[in-house]
Structure 1
Amino acid sequence: MLIRTAAALALITTTALAQQTDITIGMQLEPPNLDPTGGAAAAIDEVVYANLFEGLTRFGPDGSVQPALAQGWEVSDDGTVWTFTLHDGVTFHDGTTMDADDVVFSLDRARAEDSTNAQKALFADIESVEAVDPTTVRITLAAPNGNLGFNLAWGDAVIVAPESADTNATVPVGTGPFAFAQWVQGDRVELTAYADYWGEAPALTAATFKFISDPNAAFAAMMAGDLDAFPNFPAPETLSNFEADPRFTVIVGSTEGETILGINNANITDLKVRQAIGHAIDRQAIIDGAMFGYGTPIGTHFAPHNPDYVDLTAQSAFDPDKARTLLAEAGATDLTLRLMLPPPVYARRGGEIIASQLREVGIKTEVSNLEWAQWLEQVFRGKDFDLTIVSHTEPADINIYARPDYYFQYDNPEFQALIEQISITTDPAERSALLGQAQKTIADDAVNAYLFQLAKTGVADARIQGLWENAPTQANDLTGVTWSQ
């Protein structure tokens, strides 16, 4: 009797494990809205990218550009006409059909003069978008752009429907394998598997994204089993605890996140002052003190894992004496700068260290801790700041320096022409050389102080498989996630 009972218990346990098809994911930041085409916050894509919304193309876990709603495409010999063939039978979560007209609507909306898309520049080369038939879309470019497939893989380029586009911020309707269930603001977003998904159904039937801003609370929630995974874990100092616990897996990878001390170039116009700020900063001290050793020093706005990366860290090496000399030459002997910090740990902890390092060379700072919505309004949109710390997690985004109205307000016509040349260059060697020149230009101009490439440090239940190790874009893609027995 005892043997049969033990066997029965084992069977029940195994069955219970096999039946688990839901997951609870921890996130430090709550998205300000759920529309990736109408907001710049990375937290939006972390919830909806590939899960709820899809584009013509998408990023794979290795950073490759893969087919999504488009099953394939052809490019004209002169590189100006791209013809996409869509999957047939795709529906939005409200049951309406997704076809070529929705693609035309989405891309025209994203590139419109009054567009609120945070990455409107992705669509600048598009001259026209036409629906050839319900499953064929023709995109004509003003000039060749070999990066169009890459651009269309961004979360900002997902396909939305005219019927629901205006309410996607709070009630998102996409074509992905998961549909929106509810958003309990201040707590969580819930998704459920979409029964009529056009592609391969995910193994998961439900997903909850739980927002926990405090690192100590995140640690406690993982330990207590309230969360199944925290892909971007905010307390790297506790990772050793998880590594020692067989219940968990620690996942360390790379991201596209160039973490910078952003400088308002419209306020700090003197090159020597900006150079002094760079030389005042000890990158390794910030990596060790704020990120507990996780991070790679950078000297320009480019990911070190990219084959076209140029190591320019020596150009702005930690040199307090040089910083003081440059400040004296600039006549900036009594400088006070406003340092605006968003909520992420790298910003708050890193800000304390940077404020101390700047003080050592004679630069005073007035530190303000902002909530994410405040930061977006005051710093990103309002440009009302002197310094800020933020990680730019968008892939290969050095082209933001070609936008004079971007929040750090760098206006260099030569750089803008360089980025335009890169966009039409298809020869790999020539393109690599131009990208190297672009990296050096912004380093020479000390547009920002470049700190480190953000590491991806995640923690998950050891039974979970399929979470991304690296972050080629800001996403918690659950389409390939499964539970093992």
Structure 2
Amino acid sequence: MKHLLLTACVVALAGPALAKTDITLGMQLEPPSLDPTGEAAAAVDEVLYANVMEGLTRIASDGSIQPALARAWDVSADGLEYTFLLKDGVTFHDGTTFEASDVVFSLDRARAEDSTNAQKALFAGIESVEALNDMVVRITLSAPNGNFPFNLGWGDAVIVAPESVDTIATNPIGTGPFKFEEWRQGDQISIVKNPDYWGAPVALDRAVFKFISDPTAAFAAMMTGDVDAFPVFPAPENLAQFEVDPRFRVIVGSTEGETILSTNNMQPPFDDVRVRQALAHAIDRQAIIDGAMFGYGTPIGTHFAPHNPAYVDLTALSSYDPDRARALLAEAGFADGFTTTLKLPPPSYARRGGEIIAAQLREVGIETEISNLEWAQWLEQVFRGRDYGLTIVSHTEPMDIGIYARDDYYFQYQSEDFKAIMESLNLATDPAERTAILQQAQEHIARDYVNGYLFQLAKTGVADARIRGLWANAPTQANDLTGVSWEE
């Protein structure tokens, strides 16, 4: 009897097992800095978006626009004035108060002439930003823009404070449910729960983002438990092995990542549309998807996500046809082919896809000099320096077809007709009209063969089977941990 009573007491004292409150996530790329308002790399938002930094609006897991630091907003009848009512009682992680003046500072900084914001065009239509009082901001546009609340949900539009902006690249101060803790460069970034968060508290006390660029090392880290989840797992060939292991859950979804063979349109011979068209016909998309992504990916023929209702399937315009590619090259004066550079960033889709594409281009007479670059090198040489012939990259920003209207964007496409299409889109508010314009835009760049359109990147994630709340799809560049918890 005494033994039975003692056992019962021990069980009662032990109670149910407590759920874990920390998590380690694997990421293939490390952010070059921690300033989402001045850095183009998606990895910045993958750490900070919704976790540490917040905007007036936010993009939810289903792609919808939700209130964030703005609790509500009104739009004038002419579509030119947006009045945002701000959340009260919000503080930045350094204890300073969030108020309308911070919104004015952030948006004026983003749209300033000397702004280094990678998506500065998002703010080009803003004519003025005014604080009507501490909790109300009025933004006046130069022309109606039905996409404006969505634009404010991008990571590039998060709100920062003048008191802390000078050190944002290494010590980001936001208003989110997590606070930045530490960055061990070359290894990991950690964030911790913000006890003073204005909204619903998160379940996790701490999160670590560990940077593992090598696919083999990523597999080993998952198997040994060094990381709990890899939201975008870099070795799709291993997914089948995880699927049959009850310790893990494979999460396959969609992304906004249009993966392209990006072409320097101002560099000869790519300034000739016939050469760009030849490139497109030399590429076997399905062979790249099968060989580099083990079947994960959806072929695309333009810069637009197939899951978007406005998508048009234009893959037939650039169907795999090596004979047509050779004929076009001969017509353009390159019957004997030519040599160009192929500069590849670290992701496996680029490195593996690059080898396949190089072989396909060789079949039609185009030789490529492959350079494998680290992410910071790629940003400096290709994205900022435009020193390349070809590259492969996945554009993971949401609804970003508007980049083709920027003369100075890294693939250097210049088309007054396309700019006019984008201007008409900004003025349109009727959903059917906007769909028609978006479809016109897709077809325009497809027929100009601006880039080689390869596939829509699938979101292939692996996680400990006990984790709940990770995003299956990626409507924006984020590892949003606000709803993540461990099963008890």
TM exceeding 0.5: yes
Once the two structures are superposed, the pairs formed by residues 224-373 of structure 1 within 5 Å of their partners are 224-267=224-267, 268-332=270-334, 333-373=336-376
Q: Residue type matched to 1:319 in 2?
A: D
Aligned to 2:158: 158
Q: How many residues align?
A: 483
Partner of 2:386: 383
Q: How does 1:389-468 map onto structure 2 within 5 Å?
A: 389-468=392-471
Q: Residue 334 of structure 1: CA displacement?
A: 3.1
Q: 1:364 to 1:13 in 2, by over 3 A?
A: farther
Per the alignment, residue 123 of structure 2 pairs with 123
State TM-score, norm by structure 2. 0.97
Structure 1 CA distance, aligned partners of 2:414 and 2:164?
37
Give the match's secondary structure for 2:226.
Answer: coil
SS in 1 for 2:50: coil
1:19-38 aligned at under 5 Å gives the runs 20-38=20-38
Distance in 1 (alpha carbons) for counterparts of 2:369 and 2:195: 53
Aligned residue type for 2:197: Y
2:186 corresponds to: 186
Cα distance in 2 for residues equivalent to 1:42 and 1:132? 34
1:97-155 per-residue CA deviation (whole Å, 9 max, x = no partner) reads 01000000000000000000000000011000000011100000001111110000000
Kept in 1, the 8 Å contact 2:229–2:462? The answer is: yes
Report if the CA contact (8 A) 2:281-2:325 is conserved: yes
Distance of 1:336 and 1:2 partners within structure 2: 82
CA distance in 2, matches of 1:430, 1:179: 42
> Secondary structure, in 3 states, of the residue corresponding to 1:431?
helix
- Secondary structure of the corresponding residue to residue 221 of structure 2: helix
SS in 2 for 1:304: coil
Deviation string 1:18-50 (CA, Å, 9 cap, x unpaired) is: 2x1111111000000111001000000000000
> Following the alignment from structure 1 to structure 2, what is the Cα–Cα distance between the partners of residues 129 and 10?
60
> Deviations for 1:314-348, whole angstroms, at most 9, x for unmatched residues?
00000011001111111112300100000000000
% same residue: 72
CA shift, 1:6, in A, is: 9.8
The SS at the match of 1:254 is: strand
The one-character-per-residue Cα deviations of 1:247-306 (angstroms, maximum 9, x if unpaired) are 111000000000000000001111111000000000000000000000000000000000
Q: How does 1:163-242 map to 2 (within 5 A)?
A: 163-242=163-242
- Amino acid in structure 1 at the alignment position of 2:450: V
Match of 2:75 in 1: 75
Letter of the 1:438 counterpart? A
CA distance in 1, matches of 2:266, 2:44: 29
What secondary structure sits across from 2:161 in the alignment?
coil
Give me the whole-angstrom Cα distance separating, in 2, the residues matched to 1:4 and 1:279.
77
CA shift for structure 1 position 10: 10
Amino acid in structure 1 at the alignment position of 2:246 = P
Q: Quick check: 2:275–2:332 contact (8 Å CA) kept in 1?
A: yes
Q: Find the residue that maps to 2:31 and give its secondary structure.
A: coil
What is the alpha-carbon distance in structure 1 between the residues aligned to residue 145 and residue 6 of structure 2?
A: 68
Tell me by how many angstroms 1:417 deviates: 1.0
User: In the TM superposition, what is the alpha-carbon distance from 1:14 to its structure 2 partner?
Assistant: 3.9
Query: Are 1:480 and 2:487 matched, yes or no?
Result: no
Residue aligning to 2:136: 136
Given the superposition, is the C-alpha separation of residues 242 and 5 from structure 1 closer, same or farther in structure 2, using an over 3 Å criterion? farther
Q: Secondary structure at the match of 1:104?
A: helix
> Hey, what's the Cα distance between the residues in 2 that align with 1:309 and 1:207?
36
Once the two structures are superposed, residues 147-198 of structure 1 have per-residue CA deviations (whole angstroms, 9 ceiling, x without a partner) of: 1100000000000000111211101100000001100000000100111111
Cα distance 1:382–1:13, how it changes in 2: closer, same or farther (>3 A)?
A: farther
Amino acid at match of 1:349: R
Q: Distance in 2 between matches of 1:380 and 1:216?
A: 28
Query: Aligned AA for 1:203?
Result: A
User: CA–CA distance in 2 between the matches of 1:11 and 1:235?
Assistant: 44
Distance 2:7 2:324 in 1: 76
Q: Distance in 2 between matches of 1:261 and 1:284?
A: 14
Give 2:136's aligned amino acid: T
Instruction: Tell me how far apart the structure 1 counterparts of residues 10 and 295 of structure 2 sit (CA, whole Å).
Output: 48
Q: Secondary structure at 1:191's aligned position in 2?
A: strand
- Classify the secondary structure of the residue corresponding to 2:131: strand
3-state SS, counterpart of residue 74 of structure 1 = strand
CA contact (8 A) 2:337 2:364 kept: no
* Cα deviation, residue 9, structure 1: 7.2
- The superposition leaves residues 228-253 of structure 1 with CA deviations (integer Å, 9 ceiling, x where unpaired) of 11100001100111111111110000
The residue that corresponds to 2:89 in the other structure is: 89
State the distance in 2 between where 1:335 and 1:224 align. Answer: 47
- Decide whether aligned partners of structure 1 residues 241 and 4 sit closer, same or farther in structure 2, where only a CA change above 3 A counts: farther
Looking at structure 1, the residues matched to 330 and 322 of structure 2 have their Cα atoms a distance apart, in angstroms, of: 12
Contact 2:329–2:337 at 8 Å: present in 1 too? no
TM-score normalised per structure 1:
0.98
Pairwise CA distance, 1:8: 4.8
Partner of 1:62: 62
Cα 1:59/1:412, change in 2 over 3 Å: same
Q: 2:10 & 2:30 partners in 1: Cα distance?
A: 43
Separation in 2, partners of 1:456, 1:5: 48
Counterpart amino acid of residue 329 in structure 1: E
